[in-house]
Structure 1
Amino acid sequence: MAERRGRPTGPTGPVVRRALQLLDAFSPERSAMTLSELARHTGLPTSTAYRMLGDLVDWGALERGEDGAYRVGLRLWELGSLAPRGLGLRELAMPTLEDLSAVTRENVQLAVREGTEVVFVERIAGSGAVPVRTRVGGRFALTATGVGLVLLAHAPAEVQNEVLDGEIPRFTDMTITDPAALRRMLAEVRTCGFAVSDRQVTCDALSVAAPVFDQRDEVVAAVSLVVRHGTATALSLSPLVRAAARAISRALA
């Protein structure tokens, strides 16, 4: 997966950068870490990491459990919820997302692009719907998910080149990793108005996504339905997804 924009590098530097290194060490796979693990992962001396972790715990950015492990604190969640791009978009989109979820009872997702990754702003899990690997606030490759393909198709040429010239991750045997094939797929997305990701992320999921436009007619987000493979076709889902995307676009305008 592409490296996150603005990620701090190197074990030395200003205090703020060292604090960001500690926070950046956490991930969905590393949601709880000990002092020694954090020091090893960041390259910071244990004494420095211990001192800075204490400050981060005092402020509320991190919490320390009875097991001695550190976890992300609620203070960061509170700050993250104030991000203007995700907040305004989510509030305007929620009525449409909830309607789409109620009608289909499937997974509904809303995402934006940040650099060379897709960031999920909202996800409504359908009752009994196919499990998905995404989560609110989570990042994913632009090349595999339905929303990612939509956002990549409408991204500037330099972003497309950076993504397609780099390493393209494979998640299943169905994941398309050939740059030429992906370029053809992106052109088709721009032509037909929706993207299809069929078993590219998990072996049992089909995703159909459509672009959300702002008042300047620029793509600012993508909305998708994710269903169990074999229960519906992309052509049957695309009108619902495109209608939802148009409704959100009107709300943004």
Structure 2
Amino acid sequence: MTRLAEWNTPASEPAPPNSVLGRMIAILDAVKESGGPVTITDLALHTGLPKSTASRMVADLTSQRYLDRSDDGVVLGLRLFELGARASLPRRLLAAAGPVIRNLCDATGERVGLWVQQGSDMVAIAAVPGRLPMLPARAGMRSPALTTASGKAYLAFCADPGVVNRIAAPLVEEAAAHFRDELTHVRAAVLATDIDVSYPGIAAVATPVMSPDRVVLGAISIAGPSGAMDPAGVSPLVRAAGATVTRRLAAA
């Protein structure tokens, strides 16, 4: 195996990066360029960092799964690959869900949105306007994951308890227990609702969008006037839309 010390190293030692972020990026780049496991000594030599600093940075990056340890050194960790997959997620989701959300809007006349989770919010990556002119319908708009139908549809199937705990953190004990009970019902029904809570006068129904291996990717929601749109009436259409997107993702 070729060691980093055997690369075409310039005659002068590299200038070490000044910032913490710069040091982390330098280490990740060095591991990437090595093409295999790399030792702390070689990382220090290639980045110009003191060995003790390189060791500390590697420990931090390993604890966050950006790096992983092997018998021969460290290699890139799974979290980088997860982030890469997440970066391409909106494009893949849009391709699979575009015709589905348009058909759902045509069938109901209501606003339909495709959402992904980001921090404590759900962010729309696509939206088709309905009969509510006061309700925004644009990509990039944000809604709170804690109260919206799309947020609850996503959180009910989220496998990371840290995400759910962080979003539910503002709730007092009784409200938090009620929220978790609601997520249990959402999982059973594969459907979430929000009636006049996030936005007065507006009812919303949402269902999760799942990957072919049953990992939640986002949510499809439909929203309309709470006095005119029947949540029970549109629920089968919304649930079917989510299932259709999942099938289209599997076939892509």
Give the TM-score normalised by structure 1.
0.60
The correspondence for 1:129, drawn from 118, 127, 132, is 132
Where is the helix percentage greater, Structure 1 or Structure 2?
2
Gaps (5+ residues) in structure 1?
1-12, 18-82, 169-176
Moved over 4 A (4+): none
Q: 1:143 aligns with which of 119, 142, 146?
A: 146
Alignment of 1:74-153 (within 5 A): 83-126=87-130, 128-129=131-132, 131-133=134-136, 135-153=138-156
Report the alpha carbon displacement of residue 85 of structure 1 after superposing the two structures with TM.
1.2
RMSD between aligned alpha carbons?
2.4
Task: Map residues 1-253 of structure 1 onto 2, 5 A cutoff.
Answer: 83-126=87-130, 128-129=131-132, 131-133=134-136, 135-156=138-159, 157-164=161-168, 166-167=169-170, 178-253=175-250
8 Å CA contact 1:111–1:119 kept in 2: the answer is yes
Greater Cα radius of gyration, structure 1 or 2: 2
Q: Contact 2:111 / 2:137 at 8 angstroms: preserved in 1?
A: no
- Paired residue total: 167
Which 5+ residue runs of structure 2 have no aligned equivalent? Answer: 1-17, 23-86
**Identical pairs, percent:** 28
Alpha-carbon displacement from aligned partner over 1:12-70 (angstroms, at most 9, x marks no partner): x96x99xxxxxxxxxxxxxxxxxxxxxxxxxxxxxxxxxxxxxxxxxxxxxxxxxxxxx
Change in 2 beyond 3 A, CA 1:116/1:203:
closer
Q: CA deviation at 1:185?
A: 0.7
What is the aligned partner in structure 2 of residue 62 from structure 1?
A: none
CA shift at 1:116, angstroms? 3.3
CA distance in 1, matches of 2:101, 2:110: 11
Deviation of residue 120 (structure 1)? 1.1
Distance 1:138 1:130 in 2: 15
